[in-house]
Amino acid sequence: MTLKNFAEEKLTIGIIGAGIMGRGIAQLAAMAGIEAIIHDIDPKIVADAAAFIRQMIDKAKEKGRLSDADAVRCKSCIRTTSTLSDLSGADMVIEAIVEKLEVKQAVFKEVESLVSPDCILATNTSSLSVTAIAAACARPGRMIGCHFFNPVPLMKLVEIIGGMQTDPAVIESVQALVTRLGHTPVRVKDAPGFLVNHLGRGMNTEGLRVLAEGVAAPHQVDEIMRECAGFRMGPFELMDLTALDVTCPVSEQVYAQYYQEPRLRPTPELRLRLSAGILGRKTGAGFYPYVKGEKILPEEPGVPPLPADARFWISPTVAGLAEQIRGLLQAANIGIDEGETPGVDSIAIVTPLGQDATTAILEEHIDPERTVAVDALFGGKGRITLMGSPATRRDVIDAAWAAFAAAGRKVTVIRDSAGLVAQRMVANIVNTACDIAQEGVAGPAEIDTAARLGLGYPEGPLAMGDRIGAGVILEILENMQMVYGDPRYRPCPWLRRRAMLGLSLLHEEQV
């Protein structure tokens, strides 16, 4: 193939599909001074797309991001057609149509017969194999995945997916184009879910596991992920935003395409809600109810009274975490039992890593009726997550709740759970990222970039694992696997080896 310099030369790009994604891609191209020919079989849809793009250009001009002359130039880059042969002179054709393999294959088979041998063919698929789509083409080397995210102008990440036969020069050209469009390209191997949709399963599927076990309600999980782990959104808020008619099929496809890999296992809740039409914010009901697009939250529960004689013994087993809890209660003048073992009238607090309260209590040989567990790993500054074992008395849980509230903290009380909530969620996210790195789907730096730009994470999952400590994440996973006996929580070799060697999770092997 003889390709133009996609970073600098004058280009013409054909976009097949004038829906939300297609018009977003065309808008980006036009704003970069690249001729964009928008195609759809329905002339009205094409006209609507062009009008929408021109409106967006006008808004950019009103906000001072474009001069009058630039706005005119951008608008002149937009062309429309309902005839596929009008794309014959394009340097690249991007397809953004329905997610059905046979439909995409048929479109590219026809397009290939119309365009020049040097025209790049790109699919905006979010979950279908680029290699499988290219299999219908006579020249599969020019087929590539170019996965934008919605809304295209605002989501700065683009996954660049080479199929098994994609020409390396095609990959380089498309990476240059994405940079020219003002977005960040991340090179990804052709694998189920690519990078972002695979990585996103780490949070969503574990949130669904927490819900399926009856550990906590959706709003409690989301509060903990925001206020303890520092995420902008929890899994249920995110699923309501993206809608289950998107999330459910992707989750099931990725799980099936990885041949039922336990780490990616969804729960029946997704399919049940999809069948009921409870899709999320766009239908007015999801994991939350919505009124005029705003989610309705339950009221924060009232704090129980703190008994005047309440005293707390903090297990020294996890030293740093124990001292954190001790300092928090002492600062609020809460009584502390300084004995080597808890007194008969004291409430014991354990700070497990990856264990449930039941296991931690039995290992320490303390009274299960008077013991609670606290997530000190993620409760250092934010909301406190508190749980008892099935044997813990309610008045004991309430007294611990009241004590932490007196120390100025909001408290979420959950049922007994290995890894509480934030620990198990974050460990699963980090472990999923490590698995992606181990498989070579993307490099460590690219994984973290994709998580920040594509999923809105506060930091990349590998950097997050480094900050918490790879050894701590490993301990959480090993303890969870011991409690559950589920291969879902088996630590990835990438994580285990780096934890054992004291290396960063972002460290790549020198091979």
Active-site amino acid positions? 126, 147, 159, 197
Using CA atoms, how far apart are residues 313 and 315, in angstroms rounded to an integer? 6
Choose among 281, 335, 283: nearest CA to 308. Answer: 335
H/E element holding 386? strand 384-388
Question: What would the DSSP string read from start to end of 392-452?
Answer: S-HHHHHHHHHHHHHTT--EEEE---TTTTHHHHHHHHHHHHHHHHHHTSS-HHHHHHHHH
Strands (DSSP E) found in 137-230? 143-148, 157-162, 184-189
**The 3-state secondary structure of 211-259, one letter per residue:** HHCCCCCHHHHHHHHHHCCCCCCCHHHHHHHHCHHHHHHHHHHHHHHCC
CA distance 377 to 494: 23
- Report d(CA 378, CA 311) in Å as an integer: 23
Q: Strand, coil or helix: what is 275?
A: helix
